[in-house]
Structure 1
Amino acid sequence: MNYHIAVIEDDKNIQNIVSAFLKKEGYQVSVMDSAEKGIKLWKSNPPDMWIVDIMLPGMDGYEFCKRIRNESEVPIIIISAKDEEIDKILGLELGGDDYLTKPFSPRELMARIKRIFKRYRPVETEPKHEEQVIADELVIDKSDRRVFWIGKEQEVTTKEFDMLLLFAENVNRAFSREELLLSVWGEDYFGSDRAVDDLVKRIRKKLKDIPLETVWGFGYRLRGNKEE
């Protein structure tokens, strides 16, 4: 697949180097020098991945990641001269999938891009199986990755889908935050478990009255009509 990657970076030299390496790998590339231009691209021709600098004129990379992550789970790689641990944690908690400190090797960036695409697009190499998971009013079509709540289809992100599927396949089972991080975000994630709470909050907002319960001091579970 010919992926489209957008680069938001105000350093012309880095723009040129990253763009050249991406094109050499066969990717479609869009390059811009501000987050505001990135938002316009997102609305008109959303890419398959973002590579975003933190220190930008106007809107910074943190705010940009937050805005994109509120709408989508599209992969985001953050590049920054900030190398403090707190900066990396903040970037990952706001939605970054990876964090690369300047100066960096373009070859390392290419390797990380390939690894992320491999993780985010596994369904392309797997055969489709028609299968639905039904948990009372929640219906999930696994093959087409569609979610229906009380008979109406819902627009959900990749991680929202993955979490809902996990709960629907395990009704009434309580999952700890650590289990949810491992199942939904994977072993590579090393940010705070607050990401779980944020994702649950988004699901509850989209799927009104879904019986997704908080298990205090532990995690969450999807309550069903019948106890197992």
Structure 2
Amino acid sequence: MNNYRIAVVDDDLNIRQLVESYLQKENMETIGLGTAEEAWILWENNPPDMWVLDIMLPGMDGYELCRKIRADAEVPIIMVSARDDEVDKILGIELGGDDYMVKPFSPRELVARVKRQLQRMQKLRMKEEVPQLDEEVVVALGELRLLLHDRRAVWRGVEVDLTSKEFDLLKLFVERPNRAFARDEILQLVWGDDYFGSDRAVDHLVKRLRKKIEDLPVEAVWGLGYRLNGGEC
């Protein structure tokens, strides 16, 4: 885990220093920040490889910072909060958080989750660095086109701006239309075997996909998960 820079954003100095010390023991470089405003300046000038982001911050809160970062890139974000309400976890995931931990938490568990996120990021980068073929590979279903090399989606002639996970989920559905996928199966295929979080992340990813692609015929399969109705694309 050498050469990774982790930004730790928390207005509690003791927690921030504790988290940093554990990450530094794993040979990670850390940057401690007390406000989201400071963190945003860092993002604009020298962005880190990953964020450990407290939600309850003075001024701009962690939710808003997460939303702004996620609008720019797919950098891993672990959100941290003293609030254990399900609605807080759901909001964090909907805004693009990759994981959610409740205070007080085990610093060793946090380090383990940081490592997992960095491993997934490394795997994604390796896939993106694979040399492309001369011809673009296109997967098509009705009015939907996926350009696999460029990871672009076109719906009814208009390109749709998707995050990496949104594209992976859409590709899964398009390549196997009308097949029902269980939530835990989607977690494994889109997030990977090392995902720690709840299967509710699938519901929120589907919700985001439906919002971005109007009339996308993704159907809920009661008691199981989701499928794409290929006959309605």
Instruction: Normalising by structure 2, report the TM-score.
Output: 0.71
Number of matched pairs: 221
Counterpart contact for 1:214–1:221, Cα < 8 Å: yes
Q: Which residue of 2 aligns with 1:201?
A: 207
Q: Distance in 2 between matches of 1:68 and 1:88?
A: 23
Q: Which residue of 2 aligns with 1:138?
A: 144
Change (3 A) 1:19 1:168: same
1:162 is the counterpart of 2:160 = no
SS of residue in 2 equivalent to 1:77: strand
Q: Distance in 1 between matches of 2:211 and 2:70?
A: 15
Q: Which residue of 1 aligns with 2:124?
A: 123
1:191 is the counterpart of 2:198 = yes
Letter of the 2:50 counterpart: M
Q: Which residue of 2 aligns with 1:152?
A: 158
Give the Å deviation of 1:139.
2.2
1:99 is the counterpart of 2:97 = no
Cα deviation per residue 1:166-193 (whole Å; 9 max; x = unaligned)?
0111122232334333332344344253
SS of residue in 2 equivalent to 1:94: helix
Q: Distance in 2 between matches of 1:219 and 1:18?
A: 36
Change (3 A) 1:135 1:42: farther
Counterpart contact for 1:77–1:100, Cα < 8 Å: no
Instruction: Normalising by structure 1, report the TM-score.
Output: 0.72
Give the Å deviation of 1:92.
6.5
Q: Distance in 1 between matches of 2:27 and 2:90?
A: 27
SS of residue in 2 equivalent to 1:221: strand
Give the Å deviation of 1:60.
4.2
Letter of the 1:125 counterpart: M
| 159-168 vs 115-124, which moves further | 115-124
Letter of the 1:207 counterpart: I
Cα deviation per residue 1:113-159 (whole Å; 9 max; x = unaligned)?
22211123313335445443222332223333222223433221121
Give the Å deviation of 1:25.
5.8
Counterpart contact for 2:6–2:49, Cα < 8 Å: yes
Cα deviation per residue 1:67-123 (whole Å; 9 max; x = unaligned)?
65577543222345x3x8x45884376224252644644x65444322211123313
Counterpart contact for 2:36–2:61, Cα < 8 Å: yes
Change (3 A) 1:78 1:36: same
SS of residue in 1 equivalent to 2:209: helix
CA RMSD of aligned residues (A): 3.7
Q: Which residue of 2 aligns with 1:114?
A: 115
1:180 to 161, 186, 196: 186
5+ residue gaps in structure 2? none
Counterpart contact for 1:54–1:60, Cα < 8 Å: yes
Q: Distance in 2 between matches of 1:215 and 1:33?
A: 42
Give the Å deviation of 1:4.
4.0
Change (3 A) 1:41 1:87: farther
1:220 is the counterpart of 2:226 = yes
Give the Å deviation of 1:45.
5.3
5+ residue gaps in structure 1? none
Equivalent residue runs for 1:5-20 within 5 Å: 5-19=6-20
Give the Å deviation of 1:26.
6.2
Counterpart contact for 1:6–1:29, Cα < 8 Å: yes
Identity, % of aligned positions: 44
Counterpart contact for 2:187–2:199, Cα < 8 Å: no
